[in-house]
Chain A
């Protein structure tokens, strides 16, 4: 069965620091990968997604992720975080029914 691992449970950064959140998936075939974000008190929303083509995917709010097939990874990056990026971030892979299989999530706290 497919699974997703997020290595960091809680990350604390100061504003303007660079961010990289790790995500690894288990499936070796064709994968569809996603990063969702959940801001405090809000619902899950899509940051970016990868289906095929350029392995470097750009999303909203300056986020990007790189698909590295040989490492089964899809890490999320942002060069300079802001206080408003404080949220929980979820990596996901698409399952056989079109459902999303999520990692446990990483909480990001950005200190002003």
Chain B
């Protein structure tokens, strides 16, 4: 079946612009995760959704970052007033549920470059 998909695959933007990144999880997966992969920081966890709810947003790097999920499916990560330090690959993962034994399946990522 289809895996996790993300769009766009690449995004180049100018500093100060807003960007929106999209994640389509595997059908039926209730848990959805956003991570960021950058050279300096490695793989960082940003936010997690169980259904449409994000219980804890403390992993988001700043208040310029926000995320939502609708219909228990598609999620969008929005970065307002982008900065050069936001340049990274943004990864999305989904799992059947957030239980201890569950496997997270990753998408191909969106490479964001802020000029």
A-side residues, CB < 8 A to B, are 32, 36, 42-46, 49, 51, 90, 92, 94-95, 97-105
Q: Would A44 and B45 count as touching, CB distance under 8 A?
A: no
Which residues does chain B contribute within 8 Å of A101, judged by CB atoms? 45
B63 at the A/B interface (Cβ < 8 Å)?
A: no
Which residues does chain B contribute within 8 Å of A103, judged by CB atoms? 42
List of 6 A-B pairs having minimum Cβ-Cβ separation, nearest first:
A98-B98, A102-B43, A44-B106, A99-B45, A104-B42, A43-B108
Which residues does chain A contribute within 8 Å of B56, judged by CB atoms? 97
B76 at the A/B interface (Cβ < 8 Å)?
A: no
Query: Can you list 5 A-B pairs, Cβ within 8 angstroms, ordered by A?
Result: A36-B106, A43-B106, A51-B101, A99-B35, A100-B43
* Complex-state Cα separation, A51 to B105, whole angstroms: 17
Q: Would A100 and B104 count as touching, CB distance under 8 A?
A: yes
- Which residue on chain A has the smallest CB distance to residue B33? A99
Q: Would B99 and A98 count as touching, CB distance under 8 A?
A: yes
* Complex-state Cα separation, A28 to B63, whole angstroms: 33
Given the known A-B contacts A43-B106, A44-B91, A98-B95, are A90 and B100 also in contact in the complex, defined by CB atoms under 8 Å?
no
